[in-house]
Structure 1
Amino acid sequence: MSASNVTQAPTAITRPPSATLLKNATHQADSRQRRVSLFLIAPLLLYGTVFFLLPLAMMVFRAIDNPEVRDALPRTVTTLQDWSSEGGLLPSDEAYAALSADLAEGQGTRVVGELARRMNYEIGGYRTLVMKTSRALSEQAPPAATAKAWLIDTDERWGELTYWSAIKRASTPLTSHYLLAALDLRQDDSGDIVRAEPDQRIYLDILRRTLVIASGVTLTCLLLGYPLAALLVKASRPVAYVITLAIMLPFWTSLLARTTAWIVVLQENGLVNGLLLAAGLVDEPLTLIFNSTGLYIVMVHILLPFTVLPIYNSLKAIPPHLMRASSSLGAHPLRGFFAVYLPLSLPGVAAGGLLTFIVAAGYYITPSLVGSAREQMLGYFVAFYANNTVNWGMASALGLVLLSCIMSVYLIAASTLGVKQLAGIK
């Protein structure tokens, strides 16, 4: 057999190395792209964490944090752990001795003042009781055996169960006191949640007033903003520039300057009353400021751009031939508007209305300057507790209540239209 007739055995087929290299290169490219994307959005994530998530977490913590009693009365809190007011008996002599020792040790320090303020939230007049006892202890600290008699002799309220129950109730590390107070509720001596006293039930009315004012301003802005946005879409370029300038003008001045300017315009000797009197439409100046009328006028003027711009973007995206098509099919213009044009613009209407409502619900400066005491909104009381009384717990609780209401409105809108449509995402 010749060598030319001998066939060699076939060699094994191997995968070209280029396929593996291409796969590895693609994986590396994807990893590199993910790292670059993460690096690009890192500032946004950091900003959101520092300026949104962290303050929100701090607000939630402040609303339930309860350190004052434990810091000022550590011995008293320990002795009261096994005591309950349900039996109708006062705490033991050891608790009285611990209370006098704690107050004597903290006399003249910041913790006693914070204790007095915190206990005054539980029972009116408790601040006076704590400060009176603390001053008396600076002169004479009683022995442990006579501490009970000495405290009751100093102020007979130390012989009442209510005041000791308040200490026991306020001695927990976390408390629901502020959140309950923000909802006009309280916890009684037995631990049950009941309605607050009639003279303390103010926050639900303030919350209702806040939501009513914000809803009224939002509805007014929608009624005025929709025709204005439609006119902006249909107008010629020069007219559109003028309208856009008028809409954006409020953004170019500070909120305080705009509000102050409206006070000048709406006062009894202001521009509006001067024109009405000159035209003979009224016989005497109208009261247009420091009431609900002035508040609505100023808030609508300031918040109208928040409504117009989202509606304008929504209307601009609607093809103009749709209305012509509905007309050619015999539909009346009103029917075409309600059947075609308005449904397509609802995402913009919802986004503008929601944005306006959120901003209006949190207003503080404008109601304070142009509204009366009956028009003050929840933001005023949040600022009052944060700045004037330094009651961070109550300020945080009211802020959480308002935030919960706004989130509820947002969830309702998102469930109705969808998050993408609400955000204007195709």
Structure 2
Amino acid sequence: MTVTTHLHASAQGAPTGAAGRASYQKAQRRASMQALMLALPLIVFLLSTFIAPIALLLARSVQNHEVPDSMPALARALDAWDGHGVPDERTFALLASGLAQARESGQLGNVARRLNFAQPEFRSLLMRTARSIRDDAPPAWKPALIGMDERWNSPEIWRLLKRAAASPTPDYLLAAVDAEVTPQGAIASVPSNAAVYRDAFTRTISISATVTLLCLVLGYPVAWLLANLPAKSSNRLMLFVIVPFWTSLLVRTTAWYVLLQPGGVINSVLTGLGIATHPVPLIFNRTGVLIGMTHVLLPYMILAIYSVMKSVSPVYVRAAKSLGAHPFTAFMRVYVPQTLPGVGAGCFLVFVLALGYYITPALLGGAGDEMISQLIAIQTNTQLNWGLAGALSAYLVIFTAIFYFLFNRIVGIDRLRFG
């Protein structure tokens, strides 16, 4: 009788338990939806002002829309052309009609600019040909266009036009690493006197790594001092670390411009003390870039390491000393390993920020100190080559992602070992 009563009560309680779980899950979904609605304005803002522009810029690295959009019939004909010799009469006729339509629609400038990236003489060729085309069609366009300009009889010109009419294209991605597609269809490096971007990537990585090392060497002792001083003294010194964040980056860089120039404060002091007989070159070279970038990025390294050092108990070091360890040995083998997560975070933060730096190298560096960010700015603002700018940005994003992956692996191992 007791067992039967218990089973009957359990059966009656089951719907109540299921209803309770359903009610709890409904409340959880409601709370999650409310949190999402609160975060929705921020998500929309990030998507519209940060994610979407970056995605559009990266998409430009493989897009090739100028010729296909302005002259679609010619683009289809060139896609079917085998690339040997020069095309047939029909393709020449489509070229003539496409140039006339592009001129009337105002798109000829965009087409000429795009093709000028492939060969500098292309703009003059297109503009001259478009001006020579009349409304009355000749009996045959092929000899007529070749008569207007002999370059239309060059297979190389037509192969370049065929590549410019293909979308998506690897041309920008190849150009960003100083490579190109040969007339035979193979990928080869550009001549050494035209190679720019591989050296720029190497230089960017070298400068970023050097700045990271300098920030680590200078920032680690400062972070240790802030973490081990009494709270009152530490808070006062922390102001000197935080105040630079309240000053414009351009103002800080301009201040170094004044300090480092040949007639600036530093050279005046050096010559006044007799340390140097003539002004030391501290600006418009690698020295000025390293000094300026280290000064700007040093607070990031200090704060990252300091945040970890504050959580490290001094008991471990005292215990090591009480067991006979030398103070230096106790510091290096007990204290330093516990601060490695902060060191890793600081190095990653400084290195990634240095990769995309623009203002400081542009103002304090010389012709041989251009970083990738400066070349991207030149392509977008001066050359108007958004495709190449997108390709350079894509490689920079890929390299940053690879470094982030390696950083996570290394920091994960360190935390397992020392955490």
TM-score (norm: length of structure 1): 0.90
Cα deviation for residue 108 of structure 1 reads 5.4
Q: Using the alignment, how far apart are the partners of 2:233 and 2:274 within structure 1?
A: 33
Question: Which amino acid in 2 is paired with 1:114?
Answer: N
Question: Which amino acid in 2 is paired with 1:64?
Answer: V
Equivalent in the alignment of 1:416: 410
Equivalent in the alignment of 1:91: 87
Q: 1:341 aligns with which of 319, 335, 342?
A: 335
Q: Using the alignment, how far apart are the partners of 1:325 and 1:144 within structure 2?
A: 97
Q: How does 1:21-60 map to 2 (within 5 A)?
A: 21-60=19-58
1:384-424 deviation line (CA, Å, top 9, x unaligned): 111112211111111111111111111111111139969xx
Q: How does 1:319-358 map to 2 (within 5 A)?
A: 319-358=313-352
Cα deviation for residue 147 of structure 1 reads 1.1
Contact 1:116–1:127 (8 Å) recurs in 2: yes
Identity %: 37
- Larger relative contact order (CA 8 Å, sep ≥ 6): 2
Cα deviation for residue 126 of structure 1 reads 1.2
Equivalent in the alignment of 1:159: 153
Contact 1:100–1:142 (8 Å) recurs in 2: no
Equivalent in the alignment of 2:8: 13
1:278-330 deviation line (CA, Å, top 9, x unaligned): 22212222121111111111111111001100000011111110100111111
* Pair 145,299 (structure 1): closer, same or farther in 2 beyond 3 Å: same
* Pair 13,207 (structure 1): closer, same or farther in 2 beyond 3 Å: same
Equivalent in the alignment of 1:173: 167
Equivalent in the alignment of 1:4: none
Equivalent in the alignment of 2:211: 217
Q: Does 1:121 align with 2:130?
A: no
Q: How does 1:269-288 map to 2 (within 5 A)?
A: 269-288=263-282
Calculate the aligned-residue CA RMSD, in Å: 2.3
Q: Using the alignment, how far apart are the partners of 1:52 and 1:83 within structure 2?
A: 41
* Pair 295,80 (structure 1): closer, same or farther in 2 beyond 3 Å: closer
Q: Using the alignment, how far apart are the partners of 1:228 and 1:303 within structure 2?
A: 14
Q: Using the alignment, how far apart are the partners of 2:224 and 2:41 within structure 1?
A: 38
Q: Using the alignment, how far apart are the partners of 2:26 and 2:105 within structure 1?
A: 63
* Pair 173,327 (structure 1): closer, same or farther in 2 beyond 3 Å: same
Question: Which amino acid in 1 is paired with 2:58?
Answer: V
Equivalent in the alignment of 1:72: 70
Contact 1:142–1:150 (8 Å) recurs in 2: no
Question: Which amino acid in 2 is paired with 1:207?
Answer: F
Q: 1:112 aligns with which of 108, 112, 127?
A: 108
Q: Using the alignment, how far apart are the partners of 2:284 and 2:131 within structure 1?
A: 45
Q: Using the alignment, how far apart are the partners of 1:148 and 1:305 within structure 2?
A: 66
Q: Does 1:143 align with 2:137?
A: yes
Q: How does 1:355-370 map to 2 (within 5 A)?
A: 355-370=349-364
Query: What secondary structure sits across from 1:186 in the alignment?
Result: strand
Contact 1:306–1:355 (8 Å) recurs in 2: yes
Cα deviation for residue 359 of structure 1 reads 0.9
Q: Does 1:391 align with 2:373?
A: no
Q: Does 1:240 align with 2:238?
A: no
Contact 1:93–1:145 (8 Å) recurs in 2: no
Q: Using the alignment, how far apart are the partners of 1:199 and 1:150 within structure 2?
A: 37
Equivalent in the alignment of 1:134: 130
Q: Using the alignment, how far apart are the partners of 1:357 and 1:399 within structure 2?
A: 16
Equivalent in the alignment of 1:249: 243
Bigger shift: residues 93-102 or 32-41? 32-41
Bigger shift: residues 270-279 or 364-373? 270-279
Equivalent in the alignment of 2:289: 295
Query: What secondary structure sits across from 2:306 in the alignment?
Result: helix
Bigger shift: residues 297-306 or 271-280? 271-280
Q: Using the alignment, how far apart are the partners of 1:79 and 1:284 within structure 2?
A: 67
Q: Using the alignment, how far apart are the partners of 1:29 and 1:194 within structure 2?
A: 62
Query: What secondary structure sits across from 1:331 in the alignment?
Result: coil
Report the number of matched residues.
Answer: 411
TM-score (norm: length of structure 2): 0.92
Cα deviation for residue 89 of structure 1 reads 2.9
Q: Which runs of 5+ in 1 are unaligned?
A: 1-6
* Pair 36,76 (structure 1): closer, same or farther in 2 beyond 3 Å: closer
Bigger shift: residues 378-387 or 274-283? 274-283
Query: What secondary structure sits across from 2:275 in the alignment?
Result: coil
Query: What secondary structure sits across from 1:145 in the alignment?
Result: coil
1:91-124 deviation line (CA, Å, top 9, x unaligned): 1111111111111222254321111111122223
Query: What secondary structure sits across from 1:64 in the alignment?
Result: coil
Q: Using the alignment, how far apart are the partners of 1:187 and 1:108 within structure 2?
A: 32
Question: Which amino acid in 2 is paired with 1:59?
Answer: L
Contact 2:341–2:414 (8 Å) recurs in 1: no
Q: Using the alignment, how far apart are the partners of 2:204 and 2:277 within structure 1?
A: 34
* Pair 112,302 (structure 1): closer, same or farther in 2 beyond 3 Å: same
Contact 2:177–2:198 (8 Å) recurs in 1: yes
Question: Which amino acid in 2 is paired with 1:49?
Answer: L
Question: Which amino acid in 2 is paired with 1:132?
Answer: R
Query: What secondary structure sits across from 1:63 in the alignment?
Result: coil
Cα deviation for residue 156 of structure 1 reads 0.8
Q: Does 1:63 align with 2:61?
A: yes
Cα deviation for residue 25 of structure 1 reads 3.4
Q: Which runs of 5+ in 2 are unaligned?
A: none
Q: Using the alignment, how far apart are the partners of 1:361 and 1:31 within structure 2?
A: 42
Cα deviation for residue 206 of structure 1 reads 0.5
Contact 2:138–2:144 (8 Å) recurs in 1: no
Query: What secondary structure sits across from 1:414 in the alignment?
Result: helix
Cα deviation for residue 44 of structure 1 reads 4.1
Contact 2:58–2:393 (8 Å) recurs in 1: no
Q: Using the alignment, how far apart are the partners of 2:25 and 2:389 within structure 1?
A: 51
Larger radius of gyration: 1
